[in-house]
Amino acid sequence: MQSIIKEYNNIDSWRTAMFLYQSAVKEVQTKLEILNDEFQYVHKYNPIEHIKSRVKTAESIAKKLKRHGKEVTIENMVRYVKDIAGVRLICSYTTDIYRLAEMIGNQGDLKVLSVKDYIKNPKPSGYKSYHMLVSVPIYLSDSVVDTKVEIQIRTIAMDFWASLEHKMHYKFEGQAPEYISDELRKCAEIVATLDERMLSLNEAILAFQTEEPEEASNEILLEDNPLIHLR
């Protein structure tokens, strides 16, 4: 990305930078879809419920830089705004989150730059999610540009909660009434309990499915046994 900063000094530089981020999102999303398909093929199970992706607008990037007291330049955009390109993975269970994080970390052409585990260490607001900042090479006609993408991994319940928190943050510009913030924190505790119980329930169902074929085969043997019909 530094080569892009030096090479372009006009309005097209913003477009070039945004093109790189858009390409990076496509690259990462394709990799994740392939991983999900492979997991389905091998394990007959999809860890990813769905994938969301986005690239921040130039207006949103400028606002974030100004909010942090930075001049609006491409160099500052690349250096200080880590979540311009974002991909979000929504899973059913918390175990899927760490499984996916490990799979992403094993990708040879993705470099993990940083990890923030807000599941083990939630934010004061109650926010939970697993964040990975990765760098992906974008192959252009005459160069290769490493471009940053933030990957967020969370459960369906966490995503529902985070969507409401996001709405609240922008509605009140970070100054929400205390009673609303308190209620949202309580909801975060409910979400955590729900995730734990849903995971336990899923594990119980899987354990039952593992035992079921043996029980079914015993029933077949009993039905096929001619001695039973002689009684």
pLDDT of residue 226: 44
- Tell me the two tokens of residue 136: 């992906």
In which order are the strands placed within the sheet that holds 111-117? 48-55, 85-91, 144-155, 130-139, 111-117
- Separation between Cα atoms, residue 225 and residue 101, nearest integer Å: 51
Handedness of CA 39, 42, 46, 47 (dihedral sign): negative
Which of 23, 129, 36 shows the shortest CA–CA distance to 84?
23
Please state the rounded mean pLDDT for residues 3-11. Answer: 40
**What pTM did the predictor assign?**
0.82
The pLDDT of 32-61, averaged and rounded, is: 91
Compare 157 and 12 and report the one with higher pLDDT.
157
**Best CA proximity match to 109, nearest among 28, 44, 202:** 28
* Among 44-53, 195-204, 219-228, the least confident range: 219-228
DSSP structure class, residue 31 = H
Which range, of 37-46, 101-110, 210-219, averages the lowest pLDDT?
210-219
How do residues 62-114 score in pLDDT, each as one tens digit?
989 998 899 988 888 988 999 999 999 999 999 999 999 999 999 999 999 99
- List, for residues 12-23, the tens digit of each pLDDT value: 578 888 999 999
Catalytic (active site) residue 150: yes
**Under 8 Å between Cβ of 40 and 46:** yes
- Active-site choice (33, 49, 75, 150): 150
**Per-residue pLDDT, 43:** 84
Q: Report the distance separating Cα 29 and Cα 88, nearest Å.
A: 9
